[in-house]
Amino acid sequence: MAPKEDDAAENVRMIRDSTRAVVGADGNLGRIRAQRFQEPGFDPSIFATMAEMGWLALRLPEEAGGLGLGMAEYCALTQELGAGLVPEPLIGAALAHRLSGADLSGAGLCLAAWQDVANSLDWRKPRLDGGRITGSKHFIPNADGADSFAVATADGVAIVAKDAAGLRVTSEWTQDGCGLGTLEMTGVAPLALHAAAAVDDALDEAALATASYLFGLSERLFAMTIEYLKTRQQFGQPIGSFQALQHRATDIKIQLELTRASIAAAAATLDADAGWAARASAVSRAKCRANDTALLASREAIQMHGAIGFTDEYDAGLFVRKAMTLCNQFGSSAVHRQRFAALLKEAA
């Protein structure tokens, strides 16, 4: 293994170890349950710990005040967070830092506000008029807990205070117990404006980080399902001994391994500074596969648990609800299939 690969492997190991500060080693989900449907939907003290560890600026270069680490390290981090169903908005806050290209700690908790419409990767509206913003941004996780927003526009990334004149923030609870917010802006004056040159790359990084979160979630849910198959008795024997269930479990395991490989390949492509088309194609493959695998693991968990897997009181149900909510963030499978097909057509 080359020295650079040695460094990356050591970074990944250290990051996985550091997640114990926010993901309980015993796997208990009591904290997660306590945050559901409670404003702001996460624990600010846990988020502060993440910020102190430098996770928000993990993808920023060192000269910009970041850690200068690669996507392999970022994906390792979000995989561990997904396995613990951590609700703190790391990806949204890290995206805000990446969009601006600067350390935004002075703006409090700053979250990215990029999406124009549902089921789309569009981000270029609204435009600035006379240095002010009028328009809307949608589907911002944990928006109620933000102090400011990094609003992506065709004219630049505008940092907007939550209490700015002309800004209205509304949120709705999603079934996993977190909130999705909408920004309505009328003549809002930004605190700062940064170039928008890195928005597409930053969104792909956030999409891949989300795919890795989904992968961590899926692995944990699968492990819970396998444990149930080993302990649930029927006709005097564990139901995991039934060949039909073994075949179904094997199908999930295969998809998990394919997802792991797809995410690793996409991270390597981004870390190699490949061209945009190669990067976008790799990310779309990984996000689409992670979405589909998470939904497959969720469906099978419900079936193999005899439907108790969907109940709110059972831990598996928390993973199912998170998967159903998260699969559409940064692009559904349909959106990424369309983008991948378009890129193939352009390359032909």
CATH number at residue 282: 1.20.140.10
> Is residue 251 located within the same domain as residue 317?
yes
CB 325 within 8 A of CB 214: no
Residues 14 and 112 in one domain: no
Question: Domain range holding 147?
Answer: 105-194
CATH number, domain containing residue 32: 1.10.540.10
Domain limit, last residue, from 137, 167, 194 = 194
* CA angle at 301 for the pair 297 and 305, rounded to the nearest 5°: 170
pLDDT for res 59: 93
Last-in-domain residue among 194, 218, 246: 194
pLDDT in tens, 130-178: 999 999 999 999 999 999 999 999 999 999 999 999 999 999 999 999 9
Residues 236 and 312 sit within 8 Å (Cβ to Cβ): no
Q: What is the DSSP letter of 327?
A: T
Q: Are residues 246 and 189 in the same domain?
A: no
Q: DSSP 3-state assignment of 52? A: helix
Whether residue 219 is found in the same domain as residue 303: yes
pLDDT of residue 1: 46
Query: pTM here?
Result: 0.94
159 and 109 share one domain: yes
Query: Which amino acid appears at position 82 of this protein?
Result: G
Cα atoms in the Cβ-side hemisphere of radius 13 Å centred on 300: 27
Sequence-ordered strand ranges (E) for 119-278: 128-129, 132-141, 148-153, 156-161, 167-173, 179-188, 192-194, 233-234, 237-238
Report yes or no: 165 and 184 within 8 Å, Cβ to Cβ.
no
Number of domains within the chain = 3
Strands (E) located in the chain: 110-113, 128-129, 132-141, 148-153, 156-161, 167-173, 179-188, 192-194, 233-234, 237-238
The residue with tokens 């917010």 is: 181
Same domain, yes or no, for 221 and 167?
A: no
96 with 110, same domain: the answer is no
Taking the C-alpha atoms of residue 327 and residue 263, their distance in angstroms, rounded to an integer, is: 15
Tell me if 213 sits within 8 A of 174, measured CB to CB.
no
| 148 and 283 belong to one structural domain | no
Same domain, residue pair 112 and 96: no
* Measured distance CA(141)–CA(169) in Å, rounded: 12
Amino acid found at 93: A
Q: Are residues 217 and 341 in the same domain?
A: yes
Same domain, 183 and 234: no
| Residue 73 and residue 17 share a domain | yes
CATH number of the domain that 140 lies in? 2.40.110.10
Q: Which of 134, 164, 194 is the last residue of a domain?
A: 194
Q: Which residues of the chain have pLDDT under 70?
A: 1-6, 233, 240-241, 307
Of 281, 315, 275, 323, give the one whose Cα is nearest residue 299: 323
